[in-house]
Amino acid sequence: MGRFFLAPCLVLLAVLLLGSGADAQQVIGGSVTVVQGDTAILPCKLRLTDTTEDLTQITWQKRTREKPSNDNFITVGPSQEPRFVRGRDDRFKYIGNFNDKNGTLQLSNVALKDEGSYTCIFTLFPGGTKKTEIPLKVTVPPFTNVKDNLPTLGTEEVLFATCTAAGSRPPAEVRWLTGDLEKKVRTTTNSIQYDNGTTTTVSSLFGVPTSEINGHQVQCVISGDFLTKEISLPFTIQVYFSPTEVNIRLISEDTFECVAAANPRAKYNWSRSDQPLLESAVKVDGAKLQLLSLTSGLNGLYRCEASNAHGSKHSQLYVHVAGTCSAAWTFFGLLVSVNAIGAAVWCFSKSGYFKKRHHLVSKDSKNGTNSQREILREKLTAVESRNG
């Protein structure tokens, strides 16, 4: 009974000893993720405990997007000088220590072509080889931008802007933060994947281009596992339109300013209807017109035109200098728009003047004599003088 019990115990002890020896020899590595253009450290170290085996060589193999076959490309011997097997690549640098059984490599300026699997192999005598595989993953941050589609004022839905995350790996997530405009706008997102593994993602913002929505700020947010933090691109919705109305206002006793609502901002041009503007008599500074003298030579009709890429509109100013007094202007006629003339006509009609005149003329034509007609005509002239 004793012999049958002892034999299985010896077998079990032998297995445990073999297992202990295997655990004593481990190659420590790990997966690596790096951003394109940065530097990657490929870790590799042999852990030996209670062994007399000698390290004779460290060998690196790689299988990449550029070269799918698993080939040797660097070997390191006791001299610690790396030897390139299939062509030199100075981006690789041996930063380990052969005596410490450290085979770590450094790869600078990492490109997408370098992505793949790297194998670190330790050759021991007399035990053979020990190795580990180190996956290298390359991420590519996107090129980002928001493009204004230049919508003009209207009542139909149009494209406001597009937000693009171009050439990222892995694909980026693109979304809009619209705040209070959530129910007034909508978004769509599309992506294109390229042969090199990168993806371009485009998110579009749509809405009706009204004056109410003009000037609202939204944000395009770009996120992904390859980013340490989200990218936020602010965007102000612009609705473009030509000058809607041009007003001329008096800002001092000799200076006028032309004002118009427009997007983009209007440019202003002053001119005179009957002759060119005289530099000695007037000064133009953008939207402002300054009268430099008080002579009757200034009398005339001036025109201010406001314009942008979407159209133009104008208004007129009539200047009349009654005298040469240097203290003040006797009279300025300001013709801002036809609406002012319409308002004057409306006031006269309300005052009953036209009705009175019509009544007097009608009565004279029916019942009056020649002398009476003359009297009525004189009265009408007096009324016109008072109201004119």
d(CA 96, CA 81): 11
Condensed to tens digits (0 to 9), the pLDDT of residues 191-232 reads 999 998 899 999 999 999 998 999 999 999 999 988 889 999
Domain ranges of the chain: 28-139, 143-236, 246-336, 347-387
Exposed/middle/buried for 29, CB within 10 Å: 0-12, 13-18, 19+? buried
Separation of alpha carbons 92 and 104, rounded Å: 10
Pick one of 2.60.40.10, 1.10.10.10, 2.40.110.10, 3.40.50.720 as the CATH number of 143-236. 2.60.40.10
User: Fold match between 28-139 and 246-336?
Assistant: yes
pLDDT, position 361 = 31
C-beta pairs of 194-197 under 8 Å, 24+ apart in sequence: 194/167, 196/112, 197/65, 197/112, 197/169
Both tokens of residue 190? 């599309």
Q: Is the dihedral of CA 366, 368, 370, 376 positive or negative?
A: negative
pLDDT higher than threshold 50 for residue 368: no
Chain segment 318-335, per-residue pLDDT in tens: 988 775 444 334 334 444
Rounded mean pLDDT of 162-186? 96
Separation CA 57–CA 97 (nearest Å):
12
- Read off the pLDDT of residues 139-173 as tens digits, 9 standing for 90 and up: 999 999 999 999 999 999 999 999 999 999 999 99
Q: How much of the chain, in percent, has pLDDT values that exceed 90? A: 61
Q: How many CB atoms lie within 10 A of CB 89?
A: 11
Closest CA to 223 of 144, 111, 147, 136: 144
* 246-336 placed in CATH 2.60.40.10: yes
How large is the average pLDDT for residues 29-40?
A: 94
Return d(Cα 165, Cα 225) in angstroms, integer: 14
Spatial distance between the Cα atoms of 278 and 244, rounded to a whole number of angstroms: 29
50 confidence band (pLDDT: 50, 70, 90): low
Tell me the fold of 28-139: Immunoglobulin-like (2.60.40)
Q: Are 291 and 280 in contact (CB under 8 A)?
A: no
3-state DSSP assignment of residue 51: coil
